[in-house]
């Protein structure tokens, strides 16, 4: 039996018990819908993940949910997908919800926040500790329904055309960085710029910006940032997780049958794992290529700079949570979950990883 047949006939376990993916006995009319994305077409990592998910929804539904996919700029701009879906002009977007902090600061928690959860911690919070229900509150205010559909893992600190030997070296730099990380950098004297991924390279090359963060070696290699900046800092404080969102028009979502919604949930869950695993599998390969083939110089922020990041991040989080009662509610919930998850992982997984690497010389 092939994998698709297994999924359809054996079913997947949901939060409310086992839900079969086998199609209903009554023939369904094919439903066509549009997905818009914030990521470039055929781009390794983020772009390919979005295309893979769109195709998978159609495959799992045996063509009953017929998705038409548009990459960034093909139908609307990378940062216009939210409004396109909220208005009903498209039915779904694939993006990172921290792009929408200008609409509601609470959206930051559903991608990543500075000094926040790593990818495994974030997934545990979303799926099993009440994070999804809080996400539904925020998205529901804009007539949207969102599901996790991928993650990059901990991201790099960024590309710089100067070395950062102290926090003072950040002052006056122009840097592309989104989310609450941009507010942290701003407090440290950085002039922050918001740019979609497809415009970072040209701005770095032209000198319009001095630094930029994107994702990590796998994605950054194909962006050719090494041609414009030689110092590559690892790791960053701004996106310890980097979760992606499959955001849907809520009216459209509620119009679907239970079986159709289950198909979408299953496809998103599958891609949520696959994307993170793909990044983990490839980051080391492309980091080596950057260093050996292109002369990229790896650096780490020193403790003084990390401490400055931390102090600024605390201020930013406090300011952010003060903007609404819902943001404060989410921050309280998030922090409580982080403390619990972080303490366990510190004693178990992190202790093991550190000792394994020490013993094996990794």
Please state whether beta strands 211-212 and 31-37 pair in parallel, antiparallel, or not at all (unpaired).
Answer: unpaired
Q: Tokens standing for 84?
A: 């396109």
Q: 45-48 long-range CB contacts below 8 Å, 24 or more apart?
A: 45/152, 45/215, 45/218, 45/219, 45/275, 45/278, 45/279, 45/282, 46/150, 46/152, 46/197, 46/215, 46/219, 46/244, 47/71
CB 276 within 8 A of CB 122: no
In this prediction the pTM is 0.89
| Cα angle for residues 96, 99, 103 (degrees, 5° grid) | 125
Residue among 223, 203, 220, 243 nearest 156 (CA): 220
Can you give the pLDDT at residue 33? 98
Can you give the pLDDT at residue 187? 98
Q: What is the C-alpha to C-alpha distance for residues 167 and 309, in angstroms, rounded to an integer?
A: 9
Can you give the pLDDT at residue 96? 96
CB 298 within 8 A of CB 232: yes
CB 208 within 8 A of CB 90: no
Q: Tokens standing for 102?
A: 């200008």
CB 16 within 8 A of CB 29: no
Can you give the pLDDT at residue 13? 39
Q: What is the C-alpha to C-alpha distance for residues 174 and 190, in angstroms, rounded to an integer?
A: 6
* Three-state secondary structure call for residue 145: strand
Can you give the pLDDT at residue 352? 96
Tallying the residues shown for the chain, one arrives at: 362
Can you give the pLDDT at residue 29? 83
Q: What is the 3-state secondary structure (H, E, C) of 199-224?
A: HHHHHHHHCCCCEECCCCHHHHHHHC
Ordered per-residue pLDDT tens for the chain, 362 residues: 444 443 444 444 344 443 445 555 445 689 999 999 999 999 999 999 999 999 999 999 999 999 999 999 999 999 999 999 999 999 999 999 999 999 999 999 999 999 999 999 999 999 999 999 999 999 999 999 999 999 999 999 999 999 999 999 999 999 999 989 999 999 999 999 989 888 999 999 999 999 999 999 999 999 999 999 999 999 999 999 989 999 999 999 999 999 999 999 999 999 999 999 999 999 999 999 999 999 999 999 999 999 999 999 999 999 999 999 999 999 999 999 999 999 999 999 999 999 999 999 99
């Amino acid at each position: 039996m092939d994998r698709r047949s297994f999924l359809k006939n054996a079913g997947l376990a949901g939060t409310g018990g086992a839900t079969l993916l086998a199609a209903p006995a009554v023939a369904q009319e094919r439903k066509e819908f549009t997905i818009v994305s914030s990521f470039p077409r055929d781009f390794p990592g983020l772009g390919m993940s979005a295309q893979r998910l769109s195709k998978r929804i159609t495959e799992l539904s045996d063509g009953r949910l017929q998705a038409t996919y548009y990459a960034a700029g093909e139908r609307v701009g990378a940062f216009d997908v939210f409004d396109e879906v909220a208005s009903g002009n498209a039915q779904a977007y694939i993006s990172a919800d921290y792009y929408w902090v200008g609409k509601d600061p609470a959206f930051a928690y559903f991608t990543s926040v500075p000094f926040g959860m790593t990818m495994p911690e974030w997934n545990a919070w979303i799926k099993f500790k009440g994070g999804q229900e809080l996400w539904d509150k925020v998205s529901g205010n804009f007539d949207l329904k969102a599901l996790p559909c991928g993650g990059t893992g901990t991201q790099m600190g960024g590309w710089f055309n100067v070395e950062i030997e102290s926090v003072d070296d950040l002052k006056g730099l122009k840097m592309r960085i989104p989310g609450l990380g941009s507010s942290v950098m701003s407090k440290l004297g950085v002039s922050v710029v918001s740019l979609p991924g497809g415009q970072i390279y040209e701005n770095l090359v032209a000198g319009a910006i001095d630094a930029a963060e994107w994702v990590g070696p796998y994605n950054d290699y194909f962006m050719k940032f090494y041609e414009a900046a030689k110092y590559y800092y690892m790791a960053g404080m701004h996106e310890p997780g980097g979760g992606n969102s499959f955001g849907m028009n809520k009216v459209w979502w509620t119009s679907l049958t239970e079986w159709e919604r289950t198909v979408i949930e299953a496809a998103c869950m599958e891609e949520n794992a696959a994307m993170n695993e793909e990044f983990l599998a490839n980051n080391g390969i492309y980091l080596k290529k950057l260093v050996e083939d292109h002369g990229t110089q790896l650096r780490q922020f020193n403790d003084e700079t990390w401490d400055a990041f931390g102090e600024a991040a605390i201020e930013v989080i406090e300011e952010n949570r003060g903007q609404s009662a819902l943001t404060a509610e989410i921050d309280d919930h998030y922090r409580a979950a982080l403390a619990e998850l972080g303490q366990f992982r510190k004693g178990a997984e992190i202790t093991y990883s550190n000792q394994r690497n020490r013993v094996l010389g990794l």
